Amino acid sequence: MHVNLLDFDRDGLIGHCASLGEKSFRATQLFRWLHQRGVSDFSQMTDLAQSLRQKLALSSCVQGLKPISQHQSNDGTIKWLFDVGDGNAIETVFIPEDDRGTLCVSSQAGCAVGCRFCSTGHQGFSRNLSTGEILAQLWHAEHFLRQRQGSPERVISNVVMMGMGEPLQNHQALVPALRAMLDDHGYGISRRRLTVSTSGVVPMIDRLAQDCPVALAVSLHAPTDALRDQLVPLNKKYPLSELLAACHRYLEFAPRDFITFEYCMLDGVNDTLEHARALIELMHHGAGRGLNAKFNLIPFNPFPASGLRRSTASAVQRFAQHLQDQGFVTTVRKTRGDDIDAACGQLAGDVKDRTDVSRRMNRSPIPIAVQKSETRPHEH
């Protein structure tokens, strides 16, 4: 059986080449061909010895992902749907901006976390992606975009692990993919421009800090445990006090001196001034005290099964202004690619629901009680 070379970071590729009787510098040459040049045909890797190319042809392959579809939004956003076998598919989104090109990458086929506001979670969970499947999304997108613009210059400057799935529930496959993205012989993405987003898997936040510290984004979405339990079910296992303690620890290793907190704005659910005050209380006097935080407010992208509505623009602005007045850096995410269902929270793909999450977690729309101003973060 041929080994997929996209499953390796450079250290892994060095080990694979050693098993073929080759020195480490050959692995570095091979790594450059794969990732800097996007070449999958060993016969075209002209500075590799003919004997090595023959060994690779007999033992190895470069197996990317087959695109089922590609759609481009009016704003230039591109969404790919990739086949990952057994009736499952994942989605990857490229977001062009004046000063950067950002790729949103998936880590799982589906997601088991089941956040109320995320359409992917409503599709259920099928399986973790392999390192090669994670990395192949960047491999395909980067070299497609270079070919389209007719230039060898790098197009993708930022990668965010914010696509389908909870990245930290696939830590073993995630870390080699991150290392390949960071490697100067591969894509050379800066640690500050490579972001892992998590819904709050506390033990794996600590593992990521040790294994491959990159920028961290935390899906917060609520200022209290009572409300977050309803929006992000994982909070019942890792409540806010534990999550924010892990964020404090992560900053000892992080390439940035702040944590980004993502906050999906839901009409009448978490978007009032009472919620803003409770959030400020959490960050000034609660478990978030002393934590350097940046808030990214995300307009909700509605889908029928959620039973939720997008906050009004005025509610979002009031919420943002209240945080800013208290000294917090606060941004409102632009909605990009919503005409092709590529905006935040819309990635679903054709995911086979093997775990029956929708029935097991009672997905029917349930009204969420609005938390009052007197509610305070629950202490543990």
Q: Where are the beta strands (DSSP E) in 300-374?
A: 329-332
How many of the other CB atoms lie within 10 Å of CB of 209?
18
CA distances from 71 to 38, 92, 276, 341 (A): 22, 11, 37, 10
Rounded CA gap, 312 and 117, in Å?
16
Rounded CA gap, 112 and 285, in Å?
32
How many of the other CB atoms lie within 10 Å of CB of 203?
12
Helices within the chain (DSSP H only): 10-19, 24-35, 50-59, 119-122, 131-149, 171-182, 202-211, 225-231, 240-250, 273-284, 313-325, 357-360
The continuous run of DSSP H or E covering 293 comes out as: strand 293-299
Strand 66-72 relative to strand 60-61, pairing: unpaired
Token pair listed for 288: 């978030």
Rounded CA gap, 376 and 282, in Å?
8
CA neighbor of 220 nearest in space, from 249, 199, 250, 203: 199
The residue annotated as part of the active site, out of 115, 247, 264, 344, is 344
Q: Distance between terminal CA atoms of the chain?
A: 51
Amino acid residing at 191: R
Amino acid residing at 14: I
CA distances from 205 to 83, 179, 242, 367 (A): 29, 16, 11, 31
Establish whether 374 is a catalytic residue. Answer: no
Rounded CA gap, 161 and 183, in Å?
17
The DSSP symbol for 266 reads B
The residue annotated as part of the active site, out of 22, 91, 133, 166, is 91
Establish whether 104 is a catalytic residue. Answer: no
For 304, the 3-state DSSP assignment is helix
- Dihedral class, residue 86 (left if φ above 0, else alpha if ψ from -120 to 50, else beta): left
- List active site positions: 91, 344
